[in-house]
Structure 1
C-alpha cells in the first residue's frame, strides 16, 4: 500500500548467518540503496545481525512485495556467488 510503513525482518535459512564479514554487509547496504531508488522506497532504519536483518521502510508506491522479492533475490545471488554456494539464503 502506498505511504505505508513496514517493519521487515528476514532470518537466514536454518538460522544460519547471512553476513560473514563486512564485505557482506556493504554488499547488502549497496543493494538496499539500489532498491530504495528503483522502487521509490524510503529507508528509515536498519539493523544487521549475523543471521538476520530488520528494516523500517516506507513505500511511495504499492510495491512492497515486488520490492522485497527483488531485494532478496539480488542479495542471495551476490552472496551465493561470493561464497560459492547455491540455494536459498533466507528462511521462508
Structure 2
C-alpha cells in the first residue's frame, strides 16, 4: 500500500526523516556528513527552504524544514537523489557498464 500524499502549503513546517536501506549507514565518516550538509545547503538555496534544526545520525537524519514556497516533495527528491548519487559514486556502489560496440 502506498503512502498517502503529503499536503504541502506555503509557510509550512515539516519534521522530515529519512533512513538508509536496511537501516544501513548513510554516513560512514565525517566527509559524508559534510557532503550532506553541502547538498542540503544547495537545496535550501534552490527551493527557498529554511532549516530550523537538524540531526544527522549514522543511518538516518531528521530535519525541521520551513517551506515558504510549498515545495517539500521537489526539494526532498533533490536532496536524497543528489546525496545518494554522491554516496554511491564515492563508495563505488554503482557498477559502470560499457556500451557494447556495434560492428
**Shared fold by TM > 0.5?**
yes
The question of 1:12 aligning with 2:20 is answered yes
Task: State which structure, 1 or 2, has the greater radius of gyration over its C-alpha atoms.
Answer: 2
Superposition deviation, residue 62 in structure 1:
1.2
Superposition deviation, residue 76 in structure 1:
0.2
Superposition deviation, residue 45 in structure 1:
0.7
**CA deviation string 1:22-62 (max 9, x = no partner):** 00000000001000000000011110100000000000101
- CA distance in structure 2 between the partners assigned to 1:71 and 1:33 by the alignment: 9
**CA deviation string 1:51-74 (max 9, x = no partner):** 000000000101110010011000
> Which residue in the other structure is 2:30 paired with?
22
Greater helix proportion: 1
Unaligned runs of 5+ in 1: 87-92
Larger RCO (CA within 8 A; separation ≥ 6): 1
- CA distance in structure 2 between the partners assigned to 1:9 and 1:54 by the alignment: 4
1:85 to 85, 89, 93: 93
The aligned length equals 87
- CA distance in structure 2 between the partners assigned to 1:68 and 1:51 by the alignment: 17
The TM-score, its normalising length taken from structure 1, stands at 0.92
Q: What CA RMSD, in Å, does the superposition of the two structures yield over aligned residues?
A: 1.1
SS class of match (2:84): helix
> Which residue in the other structure is 1:3 paired with?
11
> Which residue in the other structure is 2:54 paired with?
46
